[in-house]
């Protein structure tokens, strides 16, 4: 069975929010339920796995189209994001729950 046939069948018969793993570790397909304005659809969830094979995050990044994928690639490849992550690790090693105020914007 070809990939597009498998995905079409999953879209038609899968349960809402059902997740199908792929052969790529950290990449799965999720069936999103339809809404009043949008039919059911599929999304890619990217959530890298650690050395034990378990997901690194509770929820991964959902990507629904090529435009979103391109936007994430651009952000992830920005050297300023690398610098920001290193600075956060220096300032708050091991901290996971620090949040800025709702109106705070950091200039990077």
Query: What pLDDT, on a 0 to 100 scale, did the predictor assign at position 48?
Result: 94
- How would DSSP label each residue in the chain? --HHHHHHHHHHHSPTT-EEE-SSTTEEEEEEPP-SSS--EEEEEE--B-TTSSBSSSS-EEE-SHHHHHHHHHHHT-HHHHHHHHHHHHHSTT-------TT-----
In terms of residues, how long is the chain?
Answer: 108
Query: What pLDDT, on a 0 to 100 scale, did the predictor assign at position 103?
Result: 58
Domain ranges of the chain: 1-63, 65-94
Mean pLDDT value across residues 49-58: 92
Q: Encode pLDDT of 71-94 as tens digits.
A: 999 999 999 999 999 998 999 877
Query: What pLDDT, on a 0 to 100 scale, did the predictor assign at position 104?
Result: 64
Nearest-5° angle of CA 93, CA 54, CA 74?
65
Query: What pLDDT, on a 0 to 100 scale, did the predictor assign at position 92?
Result: 87
Which tokens in the block code for residue 82? 């690398």
As a whole number of angstroms, the distance between CA 65 and CA 45 comes to 12
Mean pLDDT value across residues 3-31: 95
pLDDT higher than threshold 60 for residue 5: yes
Mean pLDDT value across residues 91-103: 61
Mean pLDDT value across residues 24-45: 96
Q: Encode pLDDT of 36-45 as tens digits.
A: 999 999 999 9
């Amino acid at each position: 069975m070809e990939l597009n046939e498998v995905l079409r069948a999953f879209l038609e018969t899968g349960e809402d929010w059902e997740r199908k793993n792929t052969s790529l570790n950290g990449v799965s397909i999720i069936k999103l339920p339809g809404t009043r304005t949008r039919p059911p659809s599929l999304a890619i969830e990217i959530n890298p796995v650690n050395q034990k094979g378990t997901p690194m995050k509770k929820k991964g990044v959902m990507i629904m189209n090529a435009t979103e994928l391109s936007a994430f690639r651009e952000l992830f490849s920005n050297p300023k994001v690398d610098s920001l992550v290193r600075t956060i690790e220096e300032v708050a090693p091991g901290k996971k729950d620090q949040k800025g105020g709702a109106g705070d914007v950091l200039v990077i």
